[in-house]
A and B are shown apart, each in its own frame.
Chain A
């Protein structure tokens, strides 16, 4: 496939040798799929080939993202700095105010626990405390002992508080994995470099792309490389990865990096759709047969 792309690009650039050109044009005549592919490449070059136009589009995207449109039928624009007009009843502001009030209502702490039942022992204590104050022991421990008539006793503190629910901060780091990242180089025989992670929104999910270069002294056909992705839960590393897959390195033709151990360069690509919550994540590459990671990296999905 890469060879075909190269040939198409050379054809479109007009750099094919005469014999190659003749053969390619004959193939175009007889192979409609190839002709379609060439047309796709030509359109890509045409519509994405002007860097100034790309910059213009990117600028428009940024401007459009910063502008809110109201649903007002008033087409005039106001001076409030945002497109949508300043005159007339602004439903956007009403919606924002209602949303803010709802948020405040949700965030105000409420006492949802039921009022503790009247403590029969304490009530007894209240009734039986002598006015003379002779029972000093009871008085000292009974906060309701000196209540005046008609005064309501204060609720005693609940005896069995439920234990607080511990929630994991999705953005907290996992110190164990962080230490592995610090170690940087795990193996002379397999080195991962130029690793990049991209998170691309894809409807409700995320397209996770992890790609980079592998420099290996071992023929990848003789081993199986594996990639694993973890969230930051310390309990899950290394036994319970969020995602796991084998990797198929692709040999890079042409110049090879020089090294003490003779190694070849390969590209690796992990491309998957996943439901990913905001938080910190880690990924590691390893040989399927070995527990020790060959590379550990980290990425973060920001809050939306």
Chain B
């Protein structure tokens, strides 16, 4: 593994902004080129790129990650898989991607890729919430005690915080249920 590839994985592991920005600079154009050649837009490319980095992040933090190929090979494979799945869902028949290469996905990524669509669905719903709801739910899902949430968010009481949490979660669930992808995932 080259020193530069070590730095990409390290940037992902440490959520290092400078390193992540370098990853975007180094690889997003090529991924975008691939996505555009296969029926997507620049926005699709950014979306897929982000999701791929999240998948790699989860794998890196799972405790049993070892990069057996180049970083770009891994990243390309994950992006290709994500985009291929999206195209497959739209077209309802087998999709062939225009590739210069044949990539196989790194072992151990299968289950992460399976869950990637669900993860994106909840993330997109979460982004639609107001900032306070996002903060409150982030703390709640991280299992922070209500009394601590009240203090961190400067709320008036635990009961009020519970009420707000319920309202925010209700909104989140409503957004998820209203998303067309939710119905597809149910089937």
Contact = CB atoms under 8 A, between A and B. Distances in A.
Contacts of A48: 122-123, 126, 137-138, 141
A48 B131 CA distance: 15
Interface string B124-142: 0011111111000111011
B55 to A, nearest CB: 11
Contacts of B169: 5, 44
Given A45-B141, A75-B29, A56 B57 contact: yes
Contact of B20 (A60, A74, A252): A60
A84 B177 CA distance: 37
Given A40-B173, A60-B53, A252-B160, A76 B166 contact: no
Contacts of A64: 24, 46, 49-50
A54 to B, nearest CB: 6
Contact of A255 (B61, B155, B159, B166): B159
A71 B160 contact: no
Given A53-B58, A63-B17, A267 B160 contact: yes
> Which of A2, A36, A41 gathers the greatest number of chain B CB atoms within 10 Å?
A2
Given A44-B172, A49-B141, A253 B122 contact: no
Chain A interface size range: 35 or more
Contacts, number: 159
Given A49-B143, A51-B142, A83-B25, 13 more contacts: A5-B169, A48-B122, A48-B126, A48-B137, A59-B15, A61-B127, A64-B49, A69-B28, A69-B42, A73-B33, A77-B26, A252-B160, A265-B157
Interface string B146-187: 000000000111111011101101101100110000000010
A202 B128 CA distance: 8
Interface centre among B36, B159, B177 (most CB of A within 10 A): B159
Contacts of A52: 15, 61
B21 interface: yes
Interface of B: 15, 17, 20-21, 24-30, 32-34, 36, 42, 45-46, 49-50, 53-54, 57-58, 61, 115, 118-119, 122-123, 126-133, 137-139, 141-143, 155-160, 162-164, 166-167, 169-170, 172-173, 176-177, 186
Contacts of B132: 196, 198
Contacts of A267: 160, 163-164, 167
A198 B131 contact: yes
Nearest to A211: B167
Lowest 6 CB-CB distances: which A-B pairs, in order?
Answer: A198-B130, A254-B159, A75-B33, A75-B30, A69-B42, A47-B122
A84 B118 CA distance: 30
Given A69-B28, A69-B32, A267-B160, A57 B50 contact: yes
Interface in A63-88: 63-64, 67, 69, 71-77, 81-85
A145 to B, nearest CB: 68
Contacts of B129: 200
Contacts of A255: 157-159
A267 to B, nearest CB: 5
A250 interface: yes
B167 A59 contact: no
Interface string A7-40: 0000000000000000000000000000011001
A67 B166 CA distance: 36
A57 B54 contact: yes
